[in-house]
Amino acid sequence: MMTTIATSKVTVIVGLGITGLSVARFLAKQNCPFLLMDTRENPPLKEEYIAEFPLNMPICGELDQAALNTADQIILSPGIGLSHSALSEASKHGVEIIGDIELFARHADAPIIAITGSNGKSTVTTLVGEMATAAGLTVEVGGNIGIAALELLSKPKPDFYVLELSSFQLETTQKLNAFAATILNVSRDHMDRYDSYVAYHSAKTRIYFGAKNRIVNREDPLTFGPLAQGVSEINFGVNAPDLKQFGIIQRGDKKYLAQGAKPLISVDELKMVGTHNLSNALAAMALLSVMGGLNEHSLEALKQFKGLDHRCQWIAEKNGITFINDSKATNIGACSAAITGLLPTLKADEKLLLIMGGQSKGADFSEIEKIIDDRIRAVLLMGEDAELIKQAVPSSIDTHLTQSMASAVEKAYQLALPGDRVLLSPACASFDMFEGFEDRGHQFAVAVGGL
């Protein structure tokens, strides 16, 4: 049963998007008085909110400092940073500032499986949900993917909640108390939000606060951290595992996903492509093991899982040239994971053509030099920061500036040879040219279809 919130003051919700609306609905069910504010004059869900709460109009355009300073509590949407001056002032007045995930954790009536990482978290979250369902467990999946976390509390109690969590959501989470939590990997991202890489990493590690089981990537030291007494830890990686851990082993001429020395699935049986997706599969297996759902049924679901749209998604083959949509790669780490995952699958005479570009979000592209070698036939650049990326691409690589997705695809097709793969993995945000990464991936598919 959920606890009713009792207070003589007003809770202030800051941010009117999917999260803010879910908080308003939750507080209304709890009979908790609230105000809702947004820094934008016309936030995207304003009309929907007004239709549901016509007697509680939102305050838009400027945050009401007086109301914030006297609030019982502020529930902050992830799109707004804690560094906002109005929030800093309210904090000085002793007002507690939390996010919807902290509120969810305080009221959740089933164990939480929590998943974060710079890359792969949507894939792993979805995969864990499908594998758990196949194993006979009931789960509700949401958070940073699909349904807002608080909306899950209105559904029948499941065996587990499975949440994808961003660093923005974790910033305002005090103690998640997850049954199992994982950081899949950490690479530079959102440097336009954080003043340092350390601050970004620190936000990610909050997922472990109060966790009973911790799943870490043994190939990425940044997924580790101090281990509290009584916390169980399992690790995964695409190398050979120790006893009871998860990894890849060789048996004859085949490679297997395995727990310890026990082979579970042949790599050849998976529909997902790329080494990074092997890592994602192993992370999901480790989580299922602590959930009590790693069995023949969940492993069969893993075999059938094709991955998510816009994440190393096979689009088409044209005259022996394969086109892959990885539009969700909005940072260098994701782009690197796609490249390093696909290169080992190429034969000696096959190469990769890479389409990149967009809004860099303050990223340092010097890392590109480490991931692009002579197996990259060409790099096609587009968008706001194309020139910035070009400066980081090794001069030995054939590089072209293009003006649109269609022209980038067409140029890649002209340069490619049979057996090559054309990979859209932008390493940038999309809003300079597209409505979002989904629109960018869709336009890539349309351009490929028009060849």
CA distance 402 to 407: 6
Report the sign of the C-alpha dihedral through residues 444, 445, 446, 451, in that order: positive
172 is in an annotated binding site: no
Residue 202 burial (10 A CB sphere; 0-12, 13-18, 19+): middle
Concerning whether 280 is annotated as a catalytic residue, the answer is: no
Comparing CA positions, the residue from 360, 361, 338, 342 lying closest to residue 351 is 342
- 320: tokens are 């022996």
Pairing mode, strands 139-143 and 160-164: parallel
Please tell me which residue in 46, 185, 190, 351 is annotated as part of the active site: 190
Strand locations in 267-364 (E): 313-318, 321-325, 352-356
230 is in an annotated binding site: no
Comparing CA positions, the residue from 328, 222, 345 lying closest to residue 278 is 345
Adjacency order of strands within the sheet including 254-259 = 139-143, 160-164, 112-116, 180-183, 213-217, 232-236, 246-251, 254-259, 262-266
- DSSP one-letter string for 126-152: HHHHHHHHHTT--EEEEESSSB-HHHH
CB-based contacts of 140-146 (< 8 A; 24+ apart in sequence): 140/110, 143/101, 143/169, 144/78, 144/169, 145/121
CA distance 330 to 195: 19
Element (H, E) at 14: strand 11-14
Angle, helices 437-449/405-415, rounded to nearest 10 degrees: 50
120 is in an annotated binding site: yes
279 is in an annotated binding site: no
Concerning whether 217 is annotated as a catalytic residue, the answer is: no
123 is in an annotated binding site: yes
Cite the DSSP H helix spans in 191-245.
Answer: 197-205
280 is in an annotated binding site: no
Largest CA distance in the chain: 71
Is residue 449 helix, strand or coil?
helix
- Determine contact, residues 139/158, Cβ cutoff 8 Å: yes
117 is in an annotated binding site: yes
Find the angle CA(269)-CA(275)-CA(279) to the nearest 5 degrees. Answer: 85
Sorted by sequence, the CB contacts under 8 Å of residue 176 that are 6+ apart come out as 101, 102, 105, 112, 114, 206, 207, 209, 210, 211
- Determine contact, residues 46/137, Cβ cutoff 8 Å: no
Give the CA distances from residue 301 to residues 95, 98, 197, in Å, rounded to whole numbers and listed in that order: 46, 36, 36
Please tell me which residue in 42, 56, 84, 144 is annotated as part of the active site: 144
Concerning whether 297 is annotated as a catalytic residue, the answer is: no
Q: Which residues are catalytic?
A: 121, 144, 190
Tell me the binding residues for ATP.
117-123
